[in-house]
Structure 1
Amino acid sequence: MNIINSISRHRSLFLVGGALIAAALSLYSDPDHGWGTALSGLAILQGIWAVAASHWARKALMDYPEADMRKLFARASENPVGAGLALVAVSIVLYGLLGVFSPRAHAGELPAGAVKYMPVLKAEQVRLWPDHPRPVLLASLVEQESCISLRSAGCWNPGAKLKTAREEGAGVGQITRAYAAGGAVRFDALADLREQYGAELGALSWSNVYQRPDLQLRAVVLMSRDSARQFRGAPAMLEFGDAGYNGGPAGVQRERRACAMTQGCDPGLWFGHVERHCLKSRQPLYGGRSACDINREHVRNVFQVRPAKYITAWAAL
């Protein structure tokens, strides 16, 4: 009877019913066809885990009778200053533990550049790739390409530049040109973009690329779209497209063939299948990471690590 009474209380009905209605509305309006709702639910579960872990860590650290919170609350009700201060101390410890166990506490804070340029990115996506199955991944891609950290100067910054003696990467999509040992241009992605998308990117040049965030973001959408469309028949079209955006679609196709020749490997899936058949160089390039490491990390970050923080803001645009 007590359980029934507890469930039927207005507070319980409001919390449970409200949560179910909110989840249903979120799923119904989810622009990512359920992915956004699932990731939001995962974030909530991670928050619950953080609170639980903090609670048990506090109990483990304060396993002496004097720190029993029930006794402290009982004494605090008698208005002794000492017990009140003890409760404040316990609260401070719990707050600190939450900071340790909840690294996602600030995941909802978007980089300033994202707040400024995400509307431009979404407008280009709606115009150029309206049937994108998970459009928020484009924001995740921009972060992967431009953000060493969310507070770095280049994060979502059209002026971001990766410059070495042999390579230059420009802007939020890191449009790249590379040089041979003698200084001649060996590869120029911007020139290729102008040639391929003259009507859309004809005004883009190396003299203005850092001043044209609109064209940079347009290029990101076009390159991502056309890379993914080469794999449109595969369930993991978007994952393959992202791997191709980073390392070239031809390499992804070779890896899919290698997967197909391996028992138990599905060439239509990325995670757990094609991703395990990397044919790229394993020689260290940057920070001890190889081309293979960078490519696999790129897909993992774009799909699993980075997108959650953008879902709400993207849906609100």
Structure 2
Amino acid sequence: MLPKLAALYIPVLLAQVAALWSTMPAPSMLAAQVEQETCVTLTSSKCWNPHAELKTAREYGFGLGQLTVTKEFNNFKAAKTWDKSLANWQWSDRFNPKMQLGALVAYDRNLYDSIHFGATSDDHLAFMFSAYNGGLGGVLKDRVLCEHTGGCNPDVWFGNVEKTSFRARTAVSGYGQSFFDINREYVANVVPEHSRREKYLFMDKEKK
């Protein structure tokens, strides 16, 4: 069963995929990503809600892709550079679902294009989603650690780089989990078919 608002915004997401990343192999993963970003539960008022906000002492996040603003970086401002269609996006219009989903698709696309490793398509996408959640730099560092870990293949996410990381493994105040656990759970909830993604697999057929 789809979350209540998902049916409203899935066509918007598919339209942005068609416009900004037509070769994206699995739009169902992007829908699972929106769910991961906004749905504490599938009946939560924030689930698939462009007005969803996260406010902690560390960061402010908003929208279907939870664009993050902190003292160190401003992803709303950065989003204007991810695709020309986002160049004139205004803060006063930050809750616009079309623009939010455009930012999510464009950022994923740019990360995907920056990643030149991955033994399979799913590995490539797993590295991308890890980068969306925790930064491309973190992914690159984790691969280096994997390279220096016996039996670890740096081109394979699941069971390999997934297990090796420089990320802190102690729970962070306000999050209830460590940044390592948050990042690994993010990928595990988005990429495999039997995850949050399962309910959105029909999108991959529609794209074809």
Do they fold alike, i.e. is TM over 0.5?
A: yes
Whole-angstrom CA distance in 1 between matches of 2:21 and 2:100: 16
1:163-218, Cα deviation, whole Å (9 max, x unpaired):
23442111010011113xxxxxx321101111x236211232322101x1000000
Are residue 206 (structure 1) and residue 91 (structure 2) matched?
Answer: yes
Aligned equivalent of 1:221: 105
Mapping of 1:55-204 within 5 angstroms? 109-179=1-71, 186-194=72-80, 196-197=81-82, 199-204=84-89
Cα gap change, 1:222/1:313 in structure 2, threshold over 3 Å: closer, same or farther? Answer: closer
Which residue identity lines up with residue 226 of structure 1 in the other structure? N
CA drift of 1:288 comes to 2.9
Mapping of 1:286-301 within 5 angstroms? 286-301=174-189
CA drift of 1:145 comes to 0.5
Aligned equivalent of 2:199: 309
Q: Could you say which structure has the larger radius of gyration?
A: 1
Aligned equivalent of 2:114: 230
Contact 1:231 1:241 in 2 (8 A): yes
Cα gap change, 1:277/1:200 in structure 2, threshold over 3 Å: closer, same or farther? Answer: same
Aligned equivalent of 1:96: none
Cα gap change, 1:159/1:288 in structure 2, threshold over 3 Å: closer, same or farther? Answer: closer
Whole-angstrom CA distance in 1 between matches of 2:185 and 2:83: 32
Task: Please state whether the residue corresponding to 2:7 is helix, strand or coil.
Answer: helix
Whole-angstrom CA distance in 2 between matches of 1:133 and 1:232: 16
Contact 1:178 1:188 in 2 (8 A): yes
Task: Please state whether the residue corresponding to 1:284 is helix, strand or coil.
Answer: coil
CA drift of 1:263 comes to 1.9
Whole-angstrom CA distance in 2 between matches of 1:166 and 1:258: 27
Whole-angstrom CA distance in 2 between matches of 1:253 and 1:125: 26
| Length-normalised TM-score, structure 2 | 0.90
Which residue identity lines up with residue 149 of structure 1 in the other structure? T
Whole-angstrom CA distance in 2 between matches of 1:116 and 1:233: 35
Structure 1: gaps (5+ residues)? 1-108, 180-185
CA drift of 1:297 comes to 0.5
CA drift of 1:225 comes to 1.2
Whole-angstrom CA distance in 2 between matches of 1:257 and 1:187: 25
Task: Please state whether the residue corresponding to 2:70 is helix, strand or coil.
Answer: strand
Whole-angstrom CA distance in 2 between matches of 1:197 and 1:231: 16
Contact 2:165 2:180 in 1 (8 A): yes
Aligned equivalent of 1:12: none
Structure (1 or 2) with the greater helix fraction: 1
Whole-angstrom CA distance in 2 between matches of 1:219 and 1:128: 10
Deviation larger for 280-289 or 254-263: 280-289
| Length-normalised TM-score, structure 1 | 0.60
Structure 2: gaps (5+ residues)? none
Contact 1:160 1:172 in 2 (8 A): yes
Contact 2:39 2:48 in 1 (8 A): yes
